[in-house]
Amino acid sequence: MLMSLCLGVMAVLGAPEAVVDTPFMQEYHEAFPITAEEQEEANDVRCVLAEGPDQVWAGTKTGLYRLEAGEHKWHGPVAGVSEGPVFDLLCDTSGMVWVAAWDGLYRSDSDGFKKIDLIQAPLGALCVYNGGIAAFGPDGWWEVKGEIITAHELPCARSIRAVMDDGSGGLWIATGVGLTHQHGTGVTLHQVGDEILSADVYGLAKSPEGAVWAAGMGGITVFRDGARAGEFTPKEGLPSVYAKCVVQGPDGRMWAGTAQGVARYDGASWSLRHSRRWLLSDEVRDIVFDGAGTAWIATAKGVSAIRQRRMTLAEKAEYFQDICMKRHVRKPWLVEKCVLPKAGDVSKWEPMDDDNDGQYTEMYLVMESFRYAATKDPDARENARKAYEAMRFLQSVTETSGFIARTVVPTTWNHVHDPNRSYTEPEIAEKRVEEPRYKPVEKRWHHNGEWRWKGDTSSDEITGHFFGYGLYYDLAADEEQKESLKDLVRRVMDYVIDHGYVLVDVDGKHTRWGVWAPERLNDDPDWRIERGVNSVEILSYLKTAWHITGDEKYQREYLRLLNEHNYKENVRHAKTYEVAWCTHIDDELLALAYPGLLLYETDPELRALYRESLDHWYTGASKEQNAFANMIYALLTGNDPNLNDTLFMLRDTPLDLIDWTIDNSTREDIHMQRAPIFEDLQTNRLLPPSERGVIRCDKNPWTAVQGGEGRTEWAPTFWLLPYWMGRHLGFIAPPQ
């Protein structure tokens, strides 16, 4: 009897010890632009203050603004404070708010804000000091205690950026030409190279152990007992040589605002929050925390809040499932990305077509099948059924015996990708000289009643379909669906076999990528690149067809390709690591194809061959924090799915699935290279999911610049599929 998924390798090798799904802190971003984007000066935020849990203040180029708790609209400019630049904000020990502005000092009272008449000079920095406050500007500094105001001459240069009480009656003063420490025995200036990284200093903070951190040009210099004791530069992991501010977070981590975003140091390494996913602008000027631990961040384009919520993986799965059902399922139950008419605004969205709608809906189908297998939730089974019916429709809509459409859209749609068009002979010639296998398809879209369907279907799509057929059959299909599957699989598989192992479109010619024929893969040098992967694909289709239908015809064809056409050697090392040919599309396709071989093959010799091929592929995939690849490997071997990396990916993946541009090419803590593939500019180390684009298994995770302009949102299948695989396979336990 064939090994089904329910009786397969996991049962043979024994159930793994599950990791308990304990809560973790999930970060997410909320954007708070001061005004409309076109009013740039108001969004030029210089400082920010969180006054208890009730409200947040922002000092901008045009004045002071207030944000009430629970609101998204700022109020201001606030009356009582002159319109114009605000440089610093402070809440003293009594709860009074102080404003350092272009024309002097303001403080709050029961009636609003009032100006301190005795100070008629611009002020750039404030701090709590000696039972009152200290206010510094280019014309001097003032000590304010109650109604007593004492003026002092500056003990330092006039370019004041930040001040901080040293805890012993003195002051640290950051200026544009050095760091001054005014203390009981005098004044010490740190200005030259052996004393400080750079004399251009912007921010000051104390670390949990009491060290003074001075942020500025060059990075961060650390002082202990008044002397330089360490540093943080790109060499130590700081992403930018330009640090504008620094602050200690509630959990003890040090947060630095840089030209590349917000960097955080946990005592061992730095992490980065950058791009529009996390910040309105990567140019960070100030950071404060409210009582709930939210970081309020002043940027060049408004205020950003990085919040935390306590979640389990199960709760994160519920969150992503909700997003998926709200915005990523379109008739006839295709699951993929959607379009956002306004960048970043998910309140309005539109469905869109994609060349890989079939493949990614099949992956969604498998996800729901694993969810059903893990939980027996009838909603999961019903969703899987609907997805399967949509996949069956992609075949029947073509009105052929076995051809499958890439996707379908209603005829009412006004826009589709790759619309029908004509090609001139020079255009075709130019394309063919560049890529001799190029196939001009003038009519990609075909009408069938209320639907338009897209042809020129690729091998990717067929691979995704057979991946879905097998696992849906094993995990979630009822008897009626199993009979339907047998019919569908026969028609699709026979169509490929009858046309000589190519996928023939309605024009009578094979599609551009739908080729698995021996004479092409083995003998045509133009198909050499696809030889290994496409051999694995076709063998997987045949083995899956045999598993589902029981028809020996498919087993005979399978063995014929293996033994008579050398597909045994083709599949041995199907994954290529040649940098000119290596792609992550192949990684994904192999992950989809290997289950059809290793789940359903019982012959020890062939299983050993496929395991060798799988291990060769996983040598590269295991290094990329790819939870789906890890879970596929665990499914087929029973081995630990690189569980630390898998859990890290599942937890670190942002809740924001918008396709923002994530540019890591100008970071100074990493280097650019042309590896593991030649095509892309890539980072020399793999960045965590929260620091790169939305994960997609066919994309290169090392690419330095990823994403788009925030106008699309990706479906969360990439996350939900490995999570539910882990739940079903017993690697991840439900929360207790």
Q: Report whether 140 contacts 121 (CB < 8 A).
A: yes
Going by C-beta distance under 8 Å and a sequence separation of 6 or more, which residues neighbour residue 598? 9, 607, 610, 611, 614, 636
- Measured distance between the N- and C-terminal CA atoms of the chain, rounded to whole angstroms: 37
Q: pTM of the entire structure?
A: 0.95
pLDDT tens, position by position, 245-300? 999 999 999 999 999 999 999 999 999 999 999 999 999 999 999 999 999 999 99
Instruction: Provide the residue type at 127 as one letter.
Output: C
> Strand order in 125-129's β-sheet?
125-129, 132-137, 140-145, 148-152
Average pLDDT over the chain, rounded to an integer: 95
Q: Report whether 733 contacts 658 (CB < 8 A).
A: no
Q: Report whether 21 contacts 316 (CB < 8 A).
A: no
The residue among 216, 224, 119 whose CA lies nearest residue 173 is 216
The residue among 721, 632, 719, 655 whose CA lies nearest residue 387 is 721
pLDDT tens, position by position, 120-162? 999 999 999 999 999 999 999 999 999 999 999 999 999 999 9
**Residue 351: in which H helix or E strand, if any?**
strand 350-351
Helix (H, G, I), strand (E, B) or coil at 261: strand
Q: Please check the confidence at residue 91 and state whether its pLDDT lies above 80.
A: yes
DSSP track, 19-80:
BP---EEEEEEEEE-SS-TT-TTTT-EEEEEEETTTEEEEEETTEEEEEETT--S-B-SPTT
Q: Report whether 350 contacts 339 (CB < 8 A).
A: yes
pLDDT tens, position by position, 50-67? 987 669 999 999 999 999
Instruction: Provide the residue type at 33 as one letter.
Output: P
The residue among 76, 84, 80, 71 whose CA lies nearest residue 98 is 80
Name the phi and psi angles at 303, rounded to 5. -105, 135
pLDDT tens, position by position, 542-553? 999 999 999 999
The residue among 571, 533, 534, 539 whose CA lies nearest residue 554 is 539
Q: In whole angstroms, what is the distance from residue 610 CA to residue 605 CA?
A: 9
What torsion do the CA atoms of 35, 39, 44, 48 make, to the nearest 10 degrees?
Answer: -10
pLDDT tens, position by position, 639-689? 999 999 999 999 999 999 999 999 999 999 999 999 999 888 999 999 999
Name the phi and psi angles at 406, rounded to 5. -65, -50
Q: In whole angstroms, what is the distance from residue 622 CA to residue 633 CA?
A: 9
